[in-house]
Amino acid sequence: MPLNESLVEITAENFKVDLDLRYATTNNFTDKAIYSRGACFLNQEAAENLRLAVDLAADIGLRFRLFDGFRPTEAVQALWDHTPNPDFLSAPGSGSPHSRGAAIDLTLIDSAGQELEMGTEFDAMTPTSYHGARDISAEAQRNRAILLGVMTAAGWDFYRNEWWHYQLFRPRRYPTLSDKAAGSRMMERTGHSGAD
């Protein structure tokens, strides 16, 4: 099935980003690969906002490392089944901004490719991950503020519990998509295939 025309593939070359797609590896909170292949997609509006954010970050000598973008509804279900924590994961019935291609998880890296200190790892399900957490170093607070400033200047909204998560304003304007409906082929061979 061809890729849903509402989605744009985000590649390292075309977007000048670094990809570390955690759910295609065992390096995530489930300790298993959720996706059968590492691929990152966003809807058209989100992809345009990402391009602007990339340019704004480049102006200050920084780049992005992307951890996740579009998340098929089957993956939303698999993550929830593993850890049903509404403070950090969307319940499958609520329709995750990720499954609409309207959200991205990312951090900043320097010119040497080193991640900036953010106070916690990606997907750390702890209050220390909240925007405005004060029990992190001054350096981590500064870096989170830079990330927040760049992303909001580029038209993104933030989720207060996760310093790494940004989404479009009013993401429910877009439909949720399964792997099949998206044509993303991200859930094949992982045992998480499902219906539209």
Q: Is residue 1 predicted with pLDDT exceeding 60?
A: no
Asked if residue 118 is part of any domain, the answer here is yes
Q: Is 74 a catalytic residue?
A: no
Q: What is the pLDDT of residues 136-155, one digit of tens each?
A: 999 999 999 999 999 999 99
Identified catalytic residue from 5, 45, 117, 162: 162
Sign of the CA dihedral 145, 147, 150, 154? Answer: negative
Inter-residue contact 76 to 98 (CB < 8 Å):
yes
Give me the pLDDT at residue 191, please.
Answer: 52
Residue 95: which of 68, 119, 113, 77 has the closest Cα? 77
Confidence of residue 195 (pLDDT cuts 50, 70, 90): very low
Q: Residue 196: is its pLDDT beyond 50?
A: no
Burial 114-137 (b: 16+ CB within 10 A, else e): eebbbbbebbbeeeebbeebeebe
Any domain includes 172: yes
- What pLDDT digit, counting tens, does each position of 162-180 carry? 999 999 999 999 999 999 9
Q: State the Cα–Cα distance between residues 147 and 110, nearest whole angstrom.
A: 12
pLDDT value at residue 111:
95
Structure letter (DSSP) for residue 3: P
Residue 195 maps to a domain = no
Q: pLDDT value at position 94? A: 87
Whether 111 is covered by a domain: the verdict is: yes
The model's pLDDT over 41-56, given as tens digits with 9 standing for 90+, comes to: 999 999 999 999 999 9
- 147, burial (CB in 10 Å: exposed 0-12, middle 13-18, buried 19+): buried
Task: Give 95-124 pLDDT, tens digit per residue.
Answer: 999 999 999 999 999 999 999 999 999 999
Q: Would 189 be classed as within a structural domain?
A: no
Q: Which residue has the tokens 């955690």?
A: 22
Range of the domain at 140: 7-182
Report the DSSP beta bridge partners of residue 7. 43
Residues forming beta bridges with residue 104, ordered by sequence position: 166
Residue 116 falls within a domain, yes or no? yes
pLDDT for the residue 190? 53
Total domains in the chain come to: 1
Domain-located, residue 53 = yes
CATH number of the CATH domain containing 90? 3.30.1380.10
3-state helix, strand and coil shares in percent for the chain, rounded to the nearest 5? 35, 15, 55
The verdict on residue 46 lying in a domain is yes
Residue 138, number of CB atoms within 10 A of its CB: 7
C-alpha 196/C-alpha 186 separation (Å) is 14
Q: DSSP class of residue 42?
A: E
Q: Is the pLDDT of residue 26 over 90?
A: yes
